[in-house]
Chain A
Amino acid sequence: MLTLDRVTKTFRTGTFSGSSVTAVDRVSFTVGRGEVVTLLGESGSGKSTLGRMILGLTPVTAGSLTLGGEPVRSGREYYRRVQGIFQDPFSCFNPVFKADRVFALVKEAYYPRVSAADWRGRVERAVRDVRLDPGQVLNKYPHQLSGGQLQRLLIARALLLDGLEFLVADEITSMLDASTRVDVLNLLGDLRERGLGVLYITHDLALGTYLAEQTVVLRGGRITERGATEKVFGNPMHPYTRHLLAAVPRLGVDWVDAEPVGSCVFHDAGAEGELHEAEPDHFVACAQLPGCPGH
């Protein structure tokens, strides 16, 4: 189980690090085993930064991030349990090497004693698990494969680690066409069946609802609303969430600019970033709700 407790990230910028930008501000939620959580937010909302912090690629400024009670520490042992898949499959493969090198790196780091033939068998099984034909995708250069194939190879790579507990999937479908998207999402669903926790980061509302039990809506680095997916989407309470839902294009309806988000948004939650529990399993940042600590 991955637990985030008031996780904050501040980037220092400017000459002599004079100014700073808070990308993620006191974000708390948990992802259990076999659970898919969607992290929804617009560009610049801090969702990718959050994913990178979970992966240990970006250090946390404040707050705590724990996996099964242990603090997150980047390193070989941690990455045996937690893996990530990134947005751009073309950028994830080193163009001068064959695509299977991503598997070779895993073998080198985690399974040095496994014989070459045995490993080959494992790779082929993992590749078949993501519904690819090993004969078509192995021993090829990245530019000879399609984005969907590359993205699946990355999922296959994660499957090779048998101790895997958690997967961060950062915008993994945004570079894929619609027909491939559902396939890749279904693969994530399969991972859930294996007991993996998945953080699915996206800006796409429709895809966000497809898999997730829980949804977290992020804006300007803060959570505006989170809870069970059907509650967040069925009964959106925060003006920003409503705004997002209103922005989904509908057939036959004129697309007018949605009303500006209410003035309360940035004084949001109380000073400690706690959310208001609107109903069981549904938390909302202050949006002029009765009982909100800001009012």
Chain B
Amino acid sequence: MNAMPPLGEPASEPVATAQPASDAGPPLASGAAEPSAPLSPTRETLHYALRNPKLLIGLAVVLVLLLTGLFGPLLLDGPDPNAYSGAQAVGPSGEHWFGTTTFGQDVFAQFVYGLRATFLVGVIGGGIAAVIAMLVGFFAGYRGGVLDEVLTMLTNIVLVIPSLAVLLIVNAYLGVRSVPVQGLFIGLTSWPWAARAIRAQTFSLRTRDFVDLARLSGSRTWKIIFREIAPNMSSYLFMTFILLFGGSILIASSLDFIGLGPTDSVSLGLMLQSAQQWSALQLGLWWWFVPPGVGITAVVGALYVANVGLDEVFNPKLRES
């Protein structure tokens, strides 16, 4: 039976209008009871969001890491996370919380700055890719016909472009190597699979009768896409963003590895790669690679947990069980 209290009903009202979840017969007649005033959709979503542990835990972890990345650098001594800190390859201690690298760099300083770069590349890359994927996917899937064929062709072309080769060329010409540019490039090349997934999902949703009913209510294409179809796949869309976000972080770290990463900063991927490069595992310097590894896993994992929670918030069928 449903543990949630019926929404939007004053506590004093009789429970006659409660949901007949497992009652065999028809729901009890509510008689003369006034139908309760409905809660606005936004407030109702908030109501469930604030009571969903998965969503709250996931968001809390992301928030803690984000705040660490944002404000952590302010607490550090120097502005350069790669500076020599005075001790080489020492384990975690009161002075060096996460220890130091073979070159005497403070791992905590690198971690804090790395989180910043990682979030930035994830948000820019994942965000741009998600926006392009949604626009292409929604319109190709909803409109169909020639527009669909053109957009699908474009998607497939971008899908098969060897992004590494393009990056090499772009790099050679532009010579710009900052984290935002890296994010921009990743965003512009990593959207095709997501666009295809969203297109397929939209394609199946647009044949549902509620889309026709919205048209019979005078809704236009934009409105139908963003108010009928998108809410139906909100969890799917957020999942897409999370995967693109995580993917951007991983692509960025592999770009870092081949020397095409930002030259002016440090990222979690860069830390992992240099730990691997300088045999941290073989030398037993676990504090060098564990923090960045845990950091990436925690960000992506927490977003995933938050998404499961979001699904429960947005999907009314999952609220009752």
A-side residues, CB < 8 A to B, are 52, 55, 57, 74-76, 79, 83-84, 86-88, 91-98, 100, 102, 105-106, 108-110, 124, 133-136, 138-141, 143-144, 154
Contact = CB atoms under 8 A, between A and B. Distances in A.
A110 B218 contact: yes
Interface stretch (B131-139, B184-192, B277-285, B309-317): B309-317
B232 A84 contact: no
What are the 7 closest A-B residue pairs judged by CB atoms, nearest first?
A: A76-B218, A135-B30, A109-B218, A105-B217, A91-B209, A92-B209, A135-B35
B232 A94 contact: yes
Interface string B1-32: 00000001000000001011000000101110
Nearest to B216: A79
A98 B215 contact: no
Interface hub of A75, A97, A100, A106 (most chain B Cβ within 10 A): A97
A86 B213 CA distance: 9
Interface string B186-212: 000000000000000000000011101
A18 B50 CA distance: 55
Contacts of A93: 210
A133 B31 CA distance: 9
Contacts of A108: 217
Contacts of B317: 95, 141, 143
Given A94-B228, A143-B316, A109 B27 contact: no
Contact of A136 (B29, B212, B316): B29
Contact of B17 (A109, A124, A136): A136
A87 B207 CA distance: 13
Contact of A96 (B19, B34, B217, B315): B315
A139 B36 contact: yes
A86 B36 contact: no
B213 A79 contact: no
Given A95-B315, A135-B30, 7 more contacts: A57-B212, A79-B216, A79-B218, A102-B217, A135-B35, A136-B17, A139-B38
Interface hub of B213, B217, B314 (most chain A Cβ within 10 A): B217
B33 interface: yes
B214 interface: yes
B94 interface: no
A116 to B, nearest CB: 10
Interface of B: 8, 17, 19-20, 27, 29-31, 33-36, 38, 41, 208-210, 212-219, 228, 231-232, 234, 314-317
B231 A94 contact: yes
Contacts of A75: 218
Contacts of B216: 55, 57, 79, 83-84
Given A91-B208, A135-B34, A141 B316 contact: yes
A243 B316 CA distance: 47
Given A94-B210, A143-B317, A135 B219 contact: no
A135 B209 contact: no
Given A91-B209, A96-B314, A138-B35, A109 B219 contact: yes
Contact of B212 (A76, A86, A140): A86
Nearest to A57: B212
Contacts of B314: 96
B209 A88 contact: yes
B208 A96 contact: no
A7 B80 CA distance: 76
Given A75-B218, A97-B231, A139 B8 contact: yes
Interface hub of B8, B210, B216, B317 (most chain A Cβ within 10 A): B216
Nearest to A142: B316
30 contacts: A55-B212, A55-B216, A57-B212, A57-B215, A57-B216, A79-B215, A79-B216, A79-B218, A86-B209, A86-B212, A86-B213, A91-B208, A91-B209, A92-B209, A92-B210, A93-B210, A94-B210, A95-B315, A96-B315, A102-B217, A106-B217, A109-B218, A124-B35, A135-B30, A135-B31, A135-B34, A135-B35, A136-B30, A139-B35, A144-B19
A55 to B, nearest CB: 7
B170 to A, nearest CB: 36
Nearest to A141: B316
Given A95-B232, A133-B29, A140-B19, A102 B213 contact: yes
Contacts of A110: 218
Given A84-B216, A105-B219, A140-B19, A95 B316 contact: yes
Nearest to A116: B37
Contacts of B41: 97
Contacts of A94: 210, 228, 231-232
A134 B35 contact: yes
Contacts of B35: 124, 134-135, 138-139
A148 B30 CA distance: 19
A276 B175 CA distance: 81
Given A100-B38, A136-B29, A144-B19, A92 B232 contact: no
A135 B231 contact: no
A91 B86 CA distance: 68
A237 to B, nearest CB: 36
A217 B31 CA distance: 45
Nearest to A158: B216
Contacts of A86: 209, 212-213
